[in-house]
Amino acid sequence: MTTSRERSPIRSPPTVEFPVVSSPLFMEEEEYPWYDPDTWYPVHIGAVFKSRYQVLVKLGYGSASTAWLCRDLEGHCYMTLKVFEQKSAQAATEKAVYAHLETVRSHHPGQQYVRKLKDSFELPWKEGMNQCLVFDALAANVKDVRERTTNNRLPKSFTIGVIYAVLQALDFLHTRAHVIHTDLTDGNVMLSTPEESYFDAIVEEEWSDPMPRKLEGDRVVYHHRAVDIPSNPGPPILCDFGQAIVGSGEHRRIALPDLYRSPEMVLGIPWKEKIDIWAVGCMFWDLFEGKHLFIHMRGALDEEGFGENDGDHLARIIALLGVPPGGLLDRAVVPDRYFDNDPDGNFWFCGDIPHVSLEGEEDVLQGEEKASFLRFISRCLQWRPEDRSSAAELVRDPLIAMVFGKPTSEAKAEH
């Protein structure tokens, strides 16, 4: 006869002195212009939520939330707690997308590379409620891994492993769940780890050598603890669905990180799931080359929602991919903003088209390796969304199949 394991005891907060940050200085989430202490919940290390999750370490923060490593006192495991600011659209979207994903019945291999929501609850604060989402604990994100390298560049085999996982996840999302991620970056791909000792070490470091914190009355603003890269990492996991969209229709709202803007975003063309494929190409380039392929941030937006640097971004796309193919500009909302009325659509924007090329920008590889890499990138970066390969097609690309030791035909059979 088996008996349930007793509930873990609540851990007493550390008594070691911690560095205190000077009050006038903004720190972490306080640096956002929209930060409001009346709408961001004051999480304290040592606190227990829902009589179950004890907060142990601050893992990070974002534009609408803070993230914390917790101990599940009932499940006897580590979890990640994401606490959103009040009335956050990202919180509502992310919770709804995860709820939708729970309804998808599939044996697609890409499901294992998509993060799963384990629990959710709300915390009352001031005049409102803060949404909290609970996930399995994960290790460092791929951006952190890349930024710790000496050349800001990841090894080819590691990078392809990340791209393989992302493509599998996207194929599941696009074809089974009908979800568009819209926010694909290396910061939203995290490494998993099977070893609980990895998180034990993080907690012990915080308990023995606490990170700095700022004291504001009954509020404490903690500096997050950067976590180490696990010695035995598990599969990469695609996370953060706060910008995701459910449905197979066309969309017009602004999406994608600034440096990953696809032609649809700049020209006002309705878009679908292929914006994620454009982002895959940009991310693959960034991880392996150690530099951004596109370099212009959007800048201030005008009344029509176009960024002040969209023209420069478009000029670089032209330099790397050539002029837009016939018919594409007919779909654009305001093609005359950047192109004349000539049937060929001559680019007349005041900025110069830079003298660059994909081949010239790639300076790591040589010979057939270089050609193979550029062929993959070109399958992602196409003017017309319909000309971009699907995630299922890309995961069968020889560049991916070769690293995973599978002939193209065998990889194809998985789909």
* Number of residues that this document lists for the chain: 415
pLDDT score of 353: 85
Residues in the chain with pLDDT < 70?
1-4, 304-305, 334-336, 341-345, 348-351, 404-415
What's the pLDDT at 415?
A: 33
Question: What does the pLDDT read at residue 310?
Answer: 86
**What is the DSSP annotation of 259-284?**
GG--HHHHHT--B-THHHHHHHHHHH
User: What's the CA gap between 251 and 247, in Å, rounded?
Assistant: 10
Which amino acid is it at 386? E
Tell me the residue ranges of DSSP E strands in 229-336: 236-238, 245-246
200 is catalytic: no
> Residues 103-108: contacts with CB within 8 Å, 24+ apart?
104/176, 104/177, 106/172, 106/176, 106/177, 108/171, 108/172, 108/175, 108/176
Q: Which of 132, 150, 39 is nearest to 94 (CA)?
A: 132
Residue whose pair of structure tokens reads 């007349």 in the numeric block: 348
pTM for this model (two decimals): 0.92
pLDDT of residue 350: 59
- DSSP track, 106-152: ---GGGGGB--EEEEEEEEETTEEEEEEEEE----BHHHHHHTSTTS
- What pLDDT, on a 0 to 100 scale, did the predictor assign at position 344? 57
pLDDT score of 392: 97
* C-alpha of 64 from chain center: 14
Predicted confidence at residue 5, as pLDDT, reads: 80
Domains of the chain are 1-137+194-230 (3.30.200.20), 138-192+233-415 (1.10.510.10)
| From 72, 144, 171, 183, active-site residue | 183
Pairing of strands 213-216, 219-222: antiparallel
Residue 411: its pLDDT value, please? 33
Cα distances (angstroms) measured from residue 126 to each of 38, 39, 40, 81, 120:
6, 7, 10, 20, 20
CA dist 264 and 277 (Å) reads 12
